Structure 1
């Protein structure tokens, strides 16, 4: 008999990304890769947080980390965008608003 393990394989007490959240993050990642900004990513799912890290090159520190911390849901919001130096760039309850500063990098002025 075949056992199907749902993605993410979350053990009890482990924080993970839901399908729509991960789809939104991977959509942004794909657009940043096609624009030439990012080349690699990593995901870490622990007891306190789920973290998606985006790298310019695989040998560097991540340019951005997108963190989901459900324990902060009722205080500052469970989503955080952390910069390369470790400082929090944006925090909030909604993933869309937290990703806005990164999505602004994709906007270009088009001349007529």
Structure 2
């Protein structure tokens, strides 16, 4: 026997997090400038239950050199943006532009 479920009750608790148009304009703007300079070559966008991730690659086959994560924690109304490089946190802010400013400064990853 079939059971009737209301979609509003079926949806998961919590909200999914995505980059909006303004976020993507900022991220792709700095990305395109670095591609034109020949520094970055690829990017990826990933979505998880409470975060959206924009990863930047020097080469497609390697791990991301920079990652911008938009995280929405329980109880928060505003997302937090976190800039990571090789799993090290560089900058965290509620304003994406502050995180982008760090990326715009000629950042380079030094290989060890």
Compute the TM-score of the two structures, normalised by the length of structure 2: 0.75
1:91 aligns with 2:106: no
Indicate the RMSD between aligned Cα atoms, in angstroms: 2.1
Structure (1 or 2) with the larger CA radius of gyration: 2
Aligned length: 93
Gaps of 5+ in 2: 1-10, 108-112
Quote how far apart the aligned CAs of 1:72 are: 7.5
Counterpart Cα distance in 2 of 1:73 and 1:83: 27
1:81, 1:98 within 8 Å by CA — same for their partners in 2?
yes
Determine helix, strand or coil for the equivalent of 2:98.
helix
Compute the TM-score of the two structures, normalised by the length of structure 1: 0.75
User: Residue 82 of structure 1 corresponds to which residue in structure 2?
Assistant: 84
Gaps of 5+ in 1: 1-10, 107-112
| Bigger strand share | 2
User: Residue 21 of structure 1 corresponds to which residue in structure 2?
Assistant: 23
